[in-house]
């Protein structure tokens, strides 16, 4: 379950930023997680409170936004939402799509005190 290590990295990042930006508590944390990021969202929700226990993020509300995958079609030169990693282009049927968004994960917003 790599979601546990992801949560630990998030908490470590928050601790680092707390020192730099002089805050002592995280009230709300919003994550943007790509549709194809390979993160089990429910496992992340389960792990976060455990990892955050005793830290500045202990009582933080965790909000997760799933970012749809986007692909660029080399054939018809369009961007489209992808339903599956190897979807054909919805416009021309080509399988020449290049994933352009939806694989990453980022801390999008932090509300602090």
47 annotated ligand binder: no
Quick count: other Cβ atoms within 10 Å of Cβ 106? Answer: 12
Q: Which helix (H) or strand (E) element contains residue 9?
A: helix 3-21
What would the DSSP string read from start to end of 73-100? ETTTTEEEE-SSTTPPPTTT--S-EEEE
Q: How far is CA 105 from the centre of its chain?
A: 3
Spatial CA neighbour of 70 closest among 29, 94, 101:
101
Spatial CA neighbour of 8 closest among 36, 42, 41, 49:
49
Annotated binding-site members: 2, 73, 76, 89, 92
Annotated binding-site members for Zn(2+): 73, 76, 89, 92
Annotated binding-site members for Ni(2+): 2
């Amino acid at each position: 379950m790599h979601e546990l290590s992801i949560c630990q990295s998030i908490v470590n990042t928050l601790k680092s930023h707390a020192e730099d930006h002089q805050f002592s508590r995280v009230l709300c944390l919003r994550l943007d997680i790509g549709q194809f990021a390979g993160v089990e969202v429910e496992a992340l929700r389960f792990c976060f409170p455990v990892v955050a226990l005793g830290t500045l993020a202990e009582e933080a509300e965790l909000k997760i936004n799933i970012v749809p995958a986007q692909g660029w079609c080399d054939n018809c030169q369009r961007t489209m939402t992808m339903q599956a990693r190897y979807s054909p282009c919805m416009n021309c049927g080509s399988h020449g799509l290049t994933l352009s968004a939806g694989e990453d994960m980022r801390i999008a917003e932090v509300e602090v005190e």
